[in-house]
């Protein structure tokens, strides 16, 4: 994606000023982080998702599953944990 770095910067700026992310913001950011090596930042986004109560959201959960597979080394335990925590399970990308 051509503007992925700019989106990640914007997301960080939104976080710093206290703008609240939602179930539409997180999937985009998670999908973009899947294309980076920013492990600490990805973990922080995962923490933010859990803290704000969106880890049960099917779209957010699906993007985290995508993230785990995109890392190259898939920890099936991580993927199953995300999948099991989703309220509704569906196919989306």
Domain ranges of the chain: 4-85
Collect all residues with Cβ–Cβ distance below 8 Å to 87 and sequence separation of at least 6.
Answer: 56, 57, 58
Which H or E run contains 40?
helix 39-51
User: What is residue 25's predicted lDDT score, i.e. its pLDDT?
Assistant: 86
1-27 mean pLDDT? 82
Decide which of 28 and 79 is more confident. Answer: 28
Mean pLDDT of 11-24: 86
**For 25-75, what is each residue's pLDDT tens digit?**
888 888 888 777 777 887 788 888 888 888 778 788 888 777 777 766 667
Confidence of residue 90 (pLDDT cuts 50, 70, 90): low
pTM: 0.66
- Least confident among 14-18, 19-23, 62-66, 86-90: 86-90
């Amino acid at each position: 994606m051509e503007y992925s770095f700019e989106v990640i910067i914007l997301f960080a700026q939104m976080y710093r000023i206290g703008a609240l992310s939602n179930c539409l913001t997180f999937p985009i950011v998670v999908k973009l982080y899947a294309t980076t090596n920013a492990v600490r930042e990805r973990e922080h986004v995962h923490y933010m998702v859990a803290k704000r109560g969106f880890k049960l959201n099917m779209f957010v959960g699906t993007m985290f599953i995508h993230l785990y597979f995109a890392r190259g080394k898939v920890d099936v335990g991580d993927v199953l944990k995300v999948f099991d925590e989703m309220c509704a399970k569906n196919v989306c990308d």
